Chain A
Amino acid sequence: MNILVCVKRVPQTGGRIVLTADGQAIDTKFLGHTISPHEECGVEEAVQIVEKEGGSSAVLTLGPAEAEEQLRDAMAIGIDRAILLETTGGEWDPVSTAGAIAETVEAQEAAHGHFDLLFFGNEAADTGDYQIGVRVAVALGRPVINGIKDIWFTDDRHAVLARREAPGGGWETYELPLPVVLGVKEGLNLPRYPSVPGRLRAKKKEVERVALGSSPSGALGLGAGEDSAGLGGAVPGPTKLLLRLPQEERSAAEVIGRGAEAAPAVVDMLERIGVLAR
């Protein structure tokens, strides 16, 4: 199986989001970055499948030069090679992002042979656009299904079986002929941590860089310019104007007590709010 995993570099937000003064981004001065959680599972799954089935794996991201860190992380747990679509000047909108990825997949396949599987995260942790994988699949004319938490193959290895949670509980399984695009979700597997030898090996692996520059939809995204290659005439957007924090309604917690001595007061509260009645 030849697999491409598309990942996104996102900040590790922790307990509180702080925005930059211009409201255009999360202030990451004191934050680390990580691969968005669903895609971490995509990386792990690709490594496991190639370990079992043979073939090769690649990881791709569209982002700033610093996103090389996430590509090295993926290679440290066993991905073979990496492609960085290097952007400048802030975020790309989802239409432009998917256009650039679809073009890159075609170029990669022309050079290295086709991918049986393309993995995307179901949605990126930060922007939550819920569309990149579907757009790339439609551009490439491949079937796609999202929300996948289980992947296996038919005996002849011509098709993939993919399972996801059904609304209201239970599971639904899809059978799709290869090549296919899958949007995966956390819970698919438990991603391993990179080992020290893995990190050392990753340093020597290839990162292919493609300079994309700034978003083809322009700083304010008001219509695609003539140089919006890869969009195939699609209208880009939506265009981010400003980020802001939601108003929180809750007031500060009432401290009931300290330590085990607080138990009677806690149970008084449980009785008062009616969760203890049977």
Chain B
Amino acid sequence: MSGPVLAFIEHAGGEPDRLSLEALAFARSLVTKLGAALEAVVLGSGVEGVAGQLGAHGVGAAHVATDARLDDFAPAAWGAAIRTIVAARAPAAVVVAGSERGNEVLAHVAARLGLPMAANVIEVTPGNSWRLVRQRWAGSLLEDAALDAPIRLLSVAPHAVAAAPTAATSVPTISTFAPELEPADLVARVVRREPKASAGVSLADAKVVVGGGRGVGSAAGFANLEALAKELGGAVGGSRVVTSLGWRPHSDQIGQTGLRIAPDLYIACGISGAIQHIVGCKAAKRILAINTDPDSPIMAVADYAVIGDLGAVVPAITAEIERRRAPA
């Protein structure tokens, strides 16, 4: 008889986070394999509404800690609250979203319980020894691994599974619990927030992104990319080379150590296609590569290509759009 699978649910504005719902979908397939129950843990004041929505995602019982000390992010305290429920429920596994916060909180749980943790898992097969597949290099490489522990701590790689609700909708049993927090758990907590600077369409949200690599040649060379992005109502980003050279600020970096974008169209200009960059842009619906080298690795992930010097091609595209838009 297996203990339940416990899913940790992040939330904002009274709604569960999308990545947490993906983690729930992952956990649902795990409980089917185990023949176990699916339970959730939700933290913060007034989260009963969030917990109530989880029935549609297969959760039978939700444990909520309506403790105001957990309202804002405090990773050690969130981890302690999860450990309180782990002690009470003896789960077979704890599943979290492979978000920045999810991985960080699970690391606290793992460290305090003295258990291994597998980050960014995409598949799991329970057994005497659990087998799992996890992402390395932000998904450019996969690792088959074994996990031998009484409680399996897993984070689910973003977008590895879809966040689909179940057919049968039910209302989960909601029970409140008092997390066992020590003063040390509350040392690392947010003391100040600064809102997002709202200036035009952000790189993360843009429908069209024009990206530049070493082939752009200089910081000034980005003027051509800016002009094309303006015509398309898009945003400009760059590869790691470009931010490391100081041609663009780091916040414009698309890649493993920068932003992961998912626009309708990504126009890769003078970008060779290092895997560091590809993992940041491969979620784009379509990729147009503009490059002098028809054999560059970017061509393997691009849908469309123009072979040529971006210094000539990009302004020509901008001019063509302007020409078609001009009144006849």
Contact = CB atoms under 8 A, between A and B. Distances in A.
A172 B142 contact: no
Interface in B268-317: 272-276, 286-289, 294, 296-297, 299-309, 312-313, 315-317
B313 A174 contact: no
Interface in B221-274: 232-233, 240, 244, 246, 250-251, 253, 256-258, 264-265, 272-274
Given A168-B12, A190-B246, A258-B306, A130 B119 contact: yes
Interface in A162-177: 166-177
26 contacts: A14-B274, A16-B297, A123-B119, A126-B137, A128-B136, A130-B104, A134-B110, A144-B75, A167-B101, A170-B194, A170-B195, A170-B197, A185-B257, A190-B246, A191-B244, A222-B148, A238-B147, A239-B147, A243-B142, A246-B140, A250-B301, A254-B304, A256-B288, A259-B313, A273-B265, A274-B264
A245 interface: yes
Interface string B104-123: 10111011101111111000
B202 A169 contact: yes
A253 interface: yes
A232 B324 contact: no
Interface string A221-256: 111000000011111111111111110101011111
A234 B303 contact: no
B37 interface: no
A166 B296 CA distance: 35
A234 B232 CA distance: 54
> Which 6 residue pairs are nearest across A and B when measured between Cβ atoms?
A169-B196, A15-B297, A237-B116, A234-B114, A187-B250, A138-B111
B134 interface: yes
B307 to A, nearest CB: 5
A204 to B, nearest CB: 28
Interface string A5-27: 00000000111110000000010
A207 interface: no
Interface in B112-146: 112, 114-120, 129, 131-132, 134-146
Contacts of B219: none
A127 B258 CA distance: 17
B80 to A, nearest CB: 11
Given A128-B119, A168-B12, A241-B145, A253 B232 contact: no
A63 interface: no
Contacts of B191: 173-175
Interface stretch (A67-75, A104-112, A262-270): A262-270
A240 B184 contact: no
B144 A259 contact: no
A241 B196 contact: no
B142 A275 contact: no
Interface of A: 13-17, 26, 37-38, 93-95, 98, 122-123, 125-131, 134-135, 137-139, 141, 143-147, 166-177, 183, 185-187, 190-191, 220-223, 231-246, 248, 250, 252-264, 266-267, 269-270, 273-276, 278
A146 B105 CA distance: 10
B73 interface: yes
Contacts of B12: 167-168
Interface in B65-100: 73, 75-76, 99-100
B107 A130 contact: yes
Contacts of A98: 111
A145 B75 contact: yes
Contacts of B193: 166, 170-173
Contact of B110 (A131, A144, A248, A276): A131
Nearest to B155: A130
B257 A38 contact: yes
Nearest to A271: B324
A139 B117 CA distance: 16
B143 A144 contact: no
Contacts of A220: 146
Contact of B275 (A14, A137, A171, A174): A14
A130 B134 CA distance: 13
Interface in B127-175: 129, 131-132, 134-150, 155
A245 B142 contact: yes
A56 to B, nearest CB: 25
Nearest to B130: A238
Contacts of A264: 320
A183 B324 CA distance: 50
A4 to B, nearest CB: 18
Given A130-B107, A144-B188, A243-B143, 13 more contacts: A135-B111, A173-B191, A187-B257, A221-B146, A237-B118, A237-B145, A238-B118, A254-B303, A259-B306, A260-B315, A266-B320, A269-B304, A275-B265
Contacts of B120: 128, 130
A195 B138 CA distance: 32
Nearest to A278: B233
B112 A257 contact: no
A234 B276 CA distance: 33
A125 B302 contact: no
Contact of B137 (A13, A134, A185): A13
Given A237-B147, A257-B306, A167 B116 contact: no
A145 B135 contact: no
Contacts of A138: 108, 111-112
B208 A275 contact: yes
B201 interface: no
Contacts of B275: 13-17
